[in-house]
Homo-oligomer: A and B are copies of this chain.
Amino acid sequence: MAGTADLKETARIEAFSDGVFAIAITLLVLELRVPLTQPAPLLPELLRLWPDYVAYLVSFVFILIMWVNHHWMFQHIVRSDQALMLLNGLLLLGITVVPFPTRIVALYLSTPNQSVAAAIYSGWFCLIAIFFNLVWLYASRGGRLLSREDAASGLAEVITRRYRLGPAAYFVAFLLAFAWAPASLALNLLLAIFFALPREFKLPARPRRT
Contact surface of A with B, Cβ cutoff 8 Å: 3-5, 8, 12, 15-16, 18-30, 32, 34, 36-39, 41-43, 46, 56-57, 60-61, 64, 67-68, 71, 82, 85-86, 89, 92-93, 96-100, 103-104, 107-108, 111-113, 116-117, 120, 196-197, 199-200, 207-210
Q: Are A34 and B82 interface neighbours, CB within 8 A?
A: no
With contact pairs A29-B27, A108-B42, A112-B39 given, residues A18 and B21 touching in the complex (Cβ less than 8 Å): no
Contacts of A36 in B (CB 8 A): 107
**Could you tell me the dominant secondary structure of chain A's interface residues?**
helix
- CA of A64 to CA of B88, assembled, Å: 11
CA distance A38 to B107 in the complex (A): 9
Contact of A27 among B16, B30, B42, B100 (CB under 8 A): B30
A28-B96, A38-B111 known; A5-B82 Cβ under 8 A: no
Number of copies of chain A assembled together: 4
Question: Which of B24, B64, B113, B207 is the one whose CB lies under 8 Å from A26?
Answer: B24
Question: Which residues of chain B come closer than 8 Å to A68, judged between CB atoms?
Answer: 85
Instruction: Kindly provide the distance from the CB of A195 to the nearest chain B CB, expressed in whole angstroms.
Output: 11
CA distance A60 to B116 in the complex (A): 26
B3, B16, B200: which contacts A21 (Cβ < 8 A)?
Answer: B16
26 A-B pairs with C-beta separation under 8 A: A5-B207, A5-B210, A12-B18, A12-B71, A16-B18, A16-B71, A20-B25, A23-B23, A24-B26, A25-B92, A27-B27, A27-B30, A29-B98, A29-B99, A30-B99, A32-B97, A34-B103, A34-B104, A36-B107, A39-B112, A42-B104, A42-B108, A43-B116, A56-B97, A68-B85, A82-B197
CA distance A23 to B5 in the complex (A): 26
In angstroms, Cα B113 to Cα A3, docked, is: 53
B29 touches A22 (CB 8 A): no
Contacts of A4 in B (CB 8 A): 210
A210 to chain B, nearest CB (A): 5
